[in-house]
Copies of this chain bind each other. A is one copy, B any other.
Amino acid sequence: MRATVLVRPKSGILDPQGEAVESSLRKLGFNVGQARVGRVVDLDVEAATPGEAHAAVERMCEQLLANPLIESYEIEVHE
């Protein structure tokens, strides 16, 4: 089963990459407000049901994919 995980810096957490994107976009003439940069992880997961896949990916987020102190995550299971 295919899963997509979005990992984002929590609000209030410093995001230097987002700040760099923001100021570069402004220098290029774009009218943008705040920009935040995170990661997207696409995974193939062995699971019998979407619910089981979701639970497995949640454990992966807690153990490896995200730092729960400073990042939030969002899981989507396809199919």
Q: Which residues of A are in contact with B by a Cβ distance under 8 Å? A: 6-8, 18, 21, 24-25, 28, 30-46, 56, 59-60, 63-65
Contact = CB atoms under 8 A, between A and B. Distances in A.
A35 B42 contact: yes
B25 A36 contact: no
A45 B64 contact: no
Oligomer: number of copies: 2
A64 B28 contact: yes
A43 B39 contact: no
A39 B37 contact: yes
13 contacts: A7-B40, A18-B41, A21-B64, A25-B43, A28-B60, A30-B45, A30-B59, A30-B60, A32-B45, A32-B60, A35-B43, A38-B41, A38-B42
